[in-house]
Structure 1
Amino acid sequence: MGHAPWWQRGIVYQVYPRSFQDSNGDGVGDLKGILRRVDYFGWLGVDAVWLSPIYPSPMADFGYDVADYRGIEPVFGTLDDFSELVAALHGRGLKLILDLVPNHTSDRHPWFVASRSGRSDPKRDWYIWRDAAPDGGPPNNWLSTFGGSAWEWDAATGQYYYHAFAREQPDLNWRNPAVRRAVYDAMRFWLDRGVDGFRVDVMWHLLKDPAWRDNPPNPAYDGSQPEFQRLLEVNTTDQPDVHEIVAEMRALIDEYDDRVLIGEIYLPIERLVAYYGRDLAGAHLPFNFQLILTAWDAGRIAGLVERYEAALPAGAWPNWVLGNHDKPRFASRVGPAQARVAAMLLLTLRGTPTLYYGDEIGMRDVPIPPGMVHDPWEKNEPGMGFGRDPQRTPMQWDASALAGFTTGTPWLPLADDRAACNVEVLSDDAGSILALYRQLIELRRTSPALSLGTYRTVAAEGGVFAYERRYDGASMLVALNFGDQPDRRIELPPGDRPGRVLASTHGDRQGETVAGALTLRPDEGVIVSLTG
């Protein structure tokens, strides 16, 4: 498999640094903590570690409000700590992907402080400033993702500035070439320090309609969705000329050997795939979140995979994401039995999989008491269930009172099930979800059919989704029962000899011979080698 780049063969593991491992007892995870757990990544079998933002930040949005693109937030450590972590990962054959947050900065970033200082400041046009509407209100109807208007009045200079997220996160003006150069220089700073690529935050937000037109109403809005979905974001996201910026980022990445560009893009498949760029000169991996967004139903998931495969540009490499720091944990969404089926799906579909820390041990969302809420979205739209703190709680390493995460008070509460749901306990259980993840990762690593092979749907009826992966004569059948119905029968593709079971989500059947048909038990996924 040496001809394929690492980001095609490998598995990405997202670390939310605040919640992974605390090394100094302040209750917040840090770089030294990640370094302490670096052998875990190799033991689990992943290939790349993606870090959510670690830049200096006032933490209005917990690192996504960047105050300096070239430093490390002291709560996480120092640049020396970062260099030590890069060296430790590289020394174990692992890659490091860094979050890049180019759409907006903190309002305390020196660029915005200068921009806000007066209309004549050279950096005024580095951000998006507009005069008030004739009635004195905001320039248009654009809404913040976190609720309310996306425009904030600045009395000192008599204009509004635009913020797609919190008011402490003013959007940069990416139509200004000086902004582009400054961010590209920051990218080079980290690439020169050994970073193996970037995950670009809200890539589809980077440009806005230059005519500042209102967004039209969303006819599907019924009040249960976040307020910003009251409007269709046709003039604030996914502008046609954003692809020029993506191509520039890719060209920069290509100046360095063996690096990857990943884009965070919440768009329908047909618009998402445009971010691969003309002649595949855009993002290597425009993140595909459809498994998170699609109802957990065999027929719908099968249809999703077919549509995605059909929409991919020729030569584009697919990718799949099951969980992240912005969405409820999958085990909470589908339950523990189907979380195992989901793991098999993620690690056997064609394309690069991304894991979210803790999913491999079945972590679930943790209820957050009102007095412990940190997320600005939850504070702006309280009680609606949009808050992201529940999926960001500390990693559960062992059965101790503080789960091995800290010796102090954790910044978010720990799960009630931490005594049983933790790495130490589950690593000793051959039937645990952690053992299943390790088995699936090893199968993927050793099987070209699963890591690089072609994809073909075999069956998607009766609550079952099945597909075949092929590579150089080797063939694997993956069959997944999306429900608790017993004895679901799948006809095997025609062949000269019986198949052999390589893995079951139930932790048994390995080595079982299958001839003619495969029978699935409730909530069971099975991988069958059809080539002996």
Structure 2
Amino acid sequence: LFPNRNGWHNASGMFYYGGFWDRMPELDLDQQVVRDEIFDIMDFWIDLGVDGFRFDAAKHAYDPNELPKGTPLLDRNLQFWMELRKYVSDHHPETYLVSEIWDTAQNMSPYAHAYDSMFNFDFGLMVIDALNSGYHNQLITKHLSNVNRISSRNENFIDAPFLTNHDQNRIMTMLGNDINKAKLAASLLLTMPGIPFIYYGEELGMLGAKPDERIREPMRWNEDLSSEVAYWSQWQYNWETPTVEVQLQDETSLLQHYIQLIELRKSNPTLRFGEMEQLQFKNSSILAYERTDAQNRYLVVLNLYPGRLEGSFDEEVLANMDVLYQVGDYEIDRDKIYMSSQSMFVAKVQP
């Protein structure tokens, strides 16, 4: 007996399974010839120079409604993905594999050995909650706990944090079209360990809410619709979103914020590979954490509240930091720090 008829489709008396859409039949992964064809397809693209693959909806390789009740779905899924992992490791050891398993860290963790990275859905949800509430809610500590739950099963695991993706309402919409919150979200994303992913248009502040067509509107490159840009449908949410062309000319734009943070990340390896720990600034709306390695120590401090706030930290550290990048203003008075509304900075602490 199957759980139910959802996903099963009738084509002239022949039934097939398409869990997401009737025009997207599932592959029969129990057939070795199908698996071999998947490996051949990967070989083809790798030979052309592709560096990696993103696997969509990986926990649905074997879907709950596809197989009879009692089928050990996790075991079946893991067996397939581990076979694919071994094939890639044996033939293309430098190829990067990142997987989408839309679930909590706890439920993702059994898949840790199958991929180099998995998209971190918990991270984006926690960022949105913190920015909309104005309280950090121990975000970094919880984030590290989630990542450690997975990396404890695979010491080579690389986290893949992101804010929102092509299946979710856009981050700018979730933040109420507040550019200050959007800048703080980008600041968090681009100072995390791992490989951060940016959904196109987030760097412009593009808006969008379900259905899918409205969260996948064309990129806002410029105002000239006759130019050679991707334009597959009219905008509904983004007619007034400032274009790439406009934002590149504005030093205070969201796009410029992304550009400068990415450059900061590229030029300071500790922000990519260093350890991370949440710090306590004695204010639940000031989120602070450090990124460290054997040679360097960096502080990242964000005021999540739409108003000036006071925090407190080690006087010696505050006196010996060089700010590398900031949004908004701050003042230091011995062990006290005063931060303007929704401001942030990244600083290097001198030894």
Question: TM range, normalised to the smaller chain?
Answer: 0.7 to 0.9
1:213 match: 69
Is contact 1:400–1:419 with CA below 8 Å preserved after alignment?
no
Corresponding residue to 1:519 among 329, 335, 338:
338
Partners in 1 of 2:199 and 2:44 — Cα distance? Answer: 27
After superposition, the C-alpha distances for 1:37-90 in whole angstroms (9 at most, x for unaligned) are xxxxxxxxxxxxxxxxxxxxxxxxxxxxxxxxxxxxxxxxxxxxxxxxxxxxxx
How far off is 1:431 after superposition? 1.0
Distance 1:184 1:478 in 2: 43
Q: Within the alignment, does 1:305 sit opposite 2:124 as a pair? A: no
- Do the aligned partners of residues 445 and 387 (structure 1) sit closer, same or farther apart at CA in structure 2, a change above 3 Å counting? same
| Structure 2: distance between partners of 1:303 and 1:496 | 22
2:204–2:241 Cα contact (<8 Å) kept: no
1:60-459 aligned at under 5 Å gives the runs 139-141=2-4, 149-157=6-14, 160-208=15-63, 212-213=68-69, 239-254=74-89, 255-277=91-113, 282-294=114-126, 295-297=128-130, 298-299=136-137, 301-314=139-152, 315=155, 316-334=157-175, 335-365=178-208, 386-401=210-225, 405=229, 410-414=231-235, 418=239, 421-459=242-280
- Kindly indicate whether the alpha-carbon contact (under 8 Å) linking 1:175 and 1:207 is maintained by their aligned counterparts in 2: no
Deviation at 1:180, TM superposition (A): 0.9
Q: State how far apart, in whole Å, the 2-side matches of 1:490 and 1:243 are.
A: 48
Task: Give yes or no for contact 2:205–2:241 (8 Å, CA) kept in 1.
Answer: no
**Secondary structure of 1:457's aligned partner:** strand
- Name the amino acid aligned to 2:257: L
Q: Map Cα deviations across residues 164-223 of structure 1 (whole Å, 9 max, x no partner).
A: 101111111212222111111111111111111100111111124686128xxxxxxxxx
Shift of 1:318: 1.7
> Under a length normalisation based on structure 1, what TM-score does the superposition of the two structures give?
0.58
Separation in structure 1 between the aligned mates of residue 125 and residue 27 of structure 2, nearest angstrom: 28
For 1:156, the aligned partner's letter is: G
Q: Quick check: 2:140–2:277 contact (8 Å CA) kept in 1?
A: no
Residue 150 (structure 1) shift: 1.4
Q: In the alignment, which residue of structure 1 is the partner of 2:296?
A: 474
Contact 2:163/2:171, CA 8 A, preserved across alignment: yes
- Conserved in 2, the CA contact under 8 Å of 1:403 and 1:422? no
> Counterpart of 2:133?
none
Q: Give the unaligned 5+ runs of structure 2.
A: 131-135
When the two structures are aligned, how many residues end up with a matched partner? Answer: 337
Change (3 A) 1:404 1:523: farther
- Give the Cα separation in 1 of the matches to 2:162 and 2:261: 16
Q: Deviations over 1:463-500 (max 9, x none)?
A: 23211100222111111222313224242485495212
Q: Does the Cα contact within 8 Å between 1:275 and 1:283 map onto a contact in 2? A: yes
CA–CA distance in structure 1, aligned partners of residues 167 and 256 of structure 2: 26
Equivalent position SS for 2:75: coil
Secondary structure at 2:338 match in 1: strand
The higher relative CO (CA closer than 8 Å, separation ≥ 6) is in: 1
Kept in 2: contact 1:331–1:363 (CA 8 A): yes
Structure 1 residue identity aligned to 2:164:
G
- Following the alignment from structure 2 to structure 1, what is the Cα–Cα distance between the partners of residues 315 and 59? 41
CA distance in 1, matches of 2:147, 2:3: 38
Q: Distance in 1 between matches of 2:159 and 2:336?
A: 30
Residues of 1 paired with 2:236 and 2:345: CA distance?
Answer: 30
Segments of 5+ residues of structure 1 without an aligned counterpart are 1-132, 134-138, 143-148, 215-234, 366-384
Q: CA deviation digits over 1:19-41, x for unaligned, max 9?
A: xxxxxxxxxxxxxxxxxxxxxxx
What residue is the counterpart of 1:381 in the other structure?
none
Match of 1:21 in 2: none
Structure 1: how far apart are the matches of 2:338 and 2:265? 23
Between the aligned partners of 1:453 and 1:440, the Cα distance in structure 2 is: 16
Alignment root-mean-square deviation, CA: 2.8
* Partner SS for 1:272: helix
Once residues 486 and 361 of structure 1 are traced to their aligned partners in structure 2, the CA distance between those partners, rounded to angstroms, is: 26
Work out the CA distance in 1 between the residues paired with 2:228 and 2:336: 46
Take 1:362 and 1:211, find their aligned partners in 2: how far apart are those partners?
42
Post-superposition offset of 1:459: 2.7
**2:305 is matched with which residue: 483, 487, 503?**
483
Shift of 1:285: 0.5
Does structure 1 conserve the Cα–Cα contact (< 8 Å) formed by 2:276 and 2:290? yes
The percent of aligned pairs where both chains have the same amino acid is: 25
**In the TM superposition, what whole-angstrom CA distance separates every residue of 1:320-366 from its partner, at most 9, and x where no partner exists?**
0112211111111113211100000000011110011111111111x
8 A contact 1:403–1:418 mirrored in 2: no
Pair 1:274–1:175, CA change in 2 (3 A): same
Distance 1:450 1:292 in 2: 19
Instruction: Tell me the alpha carbon deviations over residues 114-170 of structure 1, each in whole angstroms, 9 at most, x when there is no partner.
Output: xxxxxxxxxxxxxxxxxxx7xxxxx4326xxxxxx212134433xx32221011111
**2:204–2:255 CA contact under 8 A, matched in 1:** yes
CA apart distance, 1:517: 4.0
